[in-house]
Amino acid sequence: MNEGPGFGVYVHWPFCAAKCPYCDFNSHVRHQPVDQARFADAFARELATMRQRTGQRAVSSIFLGGGTPSLMEPKTVGTILDRIAAEWTVAPDVEITLEANPSSVEAERFRGYREAGVNRVSLGVQALNDRDLRFLGRLHTADDALHAIRLARETFPRLSFDLIYARPGQTVEAWTAELEEAIGHAADHLSLYQLTIEEGTPFFSLHKAGKLPVPDADRAADLYEATQEVTAARGLPAYEISNHAKPGAESRHNLIYWRYGEYVGVGPGAHGRFIEGRRRVVTFTERVPEAWLKLAEAKGTGVCGGETLTREEEADEFLLMGLRLAEGIDLQRYEELSGRALAPERVTILREEGLVTPLGNSRLRATPAGMVVLDALVADLAR
């Protein structure tokens, strides 16, 4: 899994049927039907603008994320994918992922996505029991999730699904059993996230009021450890802090982020990072869907901000992303980006503390203990 980072296109569909109480993504609920043809036209305009900025590239991955992209009509997905292929060269083995919620899954729609070119689905399963699904504010039941998993397996060559753990009251035994069950459903990739309490969400207010007792740090660490053990024993080891795959089934799109490759981001609230004029630029777009739409229609893009990164900023981002991966970072590339090597004395101290470890002569990775304190580790290495 160690080929170059590649070039990706991220497309953000910002609408959801309901807002989950833990979610701080750019997702919006609308009570009137969304004019999908109008949005598809605006996506086409923003893609053309991005193509002008990036020049010709070979797209190795496309990711339709959200929000809930499975609320898009297959025709909308097809139009967007066709536009991407018209703007750039698309690699013959391109990975095209669509995020789907089990509550918005229908066989016909799935077939339509497959015909449009989607070859990988990422299902937001989150839990495999109804009580926890209700707690998480999800609109689907465990049976809906199993139905969606079956349908996705029949329709798409590749399947991933997400689960959230460290829920209130969750024991290591209960989580282990749920995880074993999930792996039994034969996904080739699992994203396993600890429940985090994000500011501005209903869960944040509940937690602040003492009404949401999430596991303490020790319990959360035990749950994390159990996650690593079960997935490794079942052939889906962690290749990134929260992502597990059978060898060869890693998400190529997310690897672009973590290996510090280039990607454009289109749609409301999307971010991009690509080389323009020999420097890496960051772009971000207007978050409110209707405001983004108007900007894209008037100006050809909803980009409302961005910056050109300094070498130091690039090198810091490269560390932060790359040390999330089991494969770690390429030290030579760090040197090329930052213009200097990592300070050997710092690396030695962190090695002695058991937080990093070399991989051969050319790579450095975070140990499991280092992964738990990654932000501090990066801050220490980058000084």
Residues interacting with ligand SF4, by CB under 6 A? Answer: 16, 19-20, 23, 25, 27, 66-68, 101, 124
Cβ–Cβ < 8 Å for 106, 155: no
CB closer to ligand SF4, 94 vs 121: 121
Q: How far is the CB of 307 from ligand SF4 (least distance, A)?
A: 26
When the beta carbons of 134 and 279 are compared against ligand SF4, the nearer one is: 134
Task: Evaluate whether 193 touches 162 at the Cβ level (below 8 Å).
Answer: yes
Q: How far is CA 267 from CA 49, 260, 301, 322, in A?
A: 12, 21, 9, 26
Asked whether 118 and 98 are in contact (CB, 8 A), the reply is yes
Output the smallest distance, CB 116 to ligand SF4, in A: 21
**Backbone dihedral angles phi then psi of residue 327, each to the nearest 5 degrees:** -80, -10
Q: CB of residue 20 vs ligand SF4: minimum separation in angstroms?
A: 3
Give the residue with the Cβ less far from ligand SF4, 25 or 284. Answer: 25
C-beta closer to ligand SF4: residue 23 or 281? 23
Tokens of 277: 């004029």
In the beta sheet, which residues pair with residue 240? 243, 325
Residue 75 token pair: 């025709």
Q: Decide: residue 271, CB within 10 A, 0-12 exposed, 13-18 middle, 19+ buried.
A: middle
DSSP structure class, residue 115? H
Provide, rounded to whole angstroms, the least separation between the CB of residue 296 and ligand SF4.
Answer: 21
Q: Give whichever of 102 and 328 is closer to ligand SF4, judged by the CB atom.
A: 102
The Cα 177–Cα 189 span in angstroms is: 18
Query: How far apart, in Å, are the Cα atoms of 381 and each of 4, 338, 349?
Result: 24, 12, 10
Q: For residue 282, count other CB atoms closer than 10 A to its CB.
A: 16
CB of 151 to ligand SF4, least distance (A): 18
Q: Residue 54 or 103: which CB sits closer to ligand SF4? A: 103
CB of 101 to ligand SF4, least distance (A): 5
Instruction: Report in angstroms the alpha-carbon separations of 373 from 195, 220, 251, 370, 380.
Output: 17, 13, 24, 5, 11
Taking the complex as a whole, the smallest distance from the CB of residue 22 to ligand SF4 amounts, in Å, to 7
Of 195, 194, 191, which Cα lies nearest the Cα of 236?
A: 191
Please say which residue, 19 or 234, places its beta carbon nearer to ligand SF4. Answer: 19
- The whole-angstrom separation of Cα 144 and Cα 108 is 16
In the complex with ligand SF4, which residue's Cβ is closer, 27 or 97?
27
Task: Please state the closest distance from residue 124 (CB atom) to ligand SF4, in A.
Answer: 6
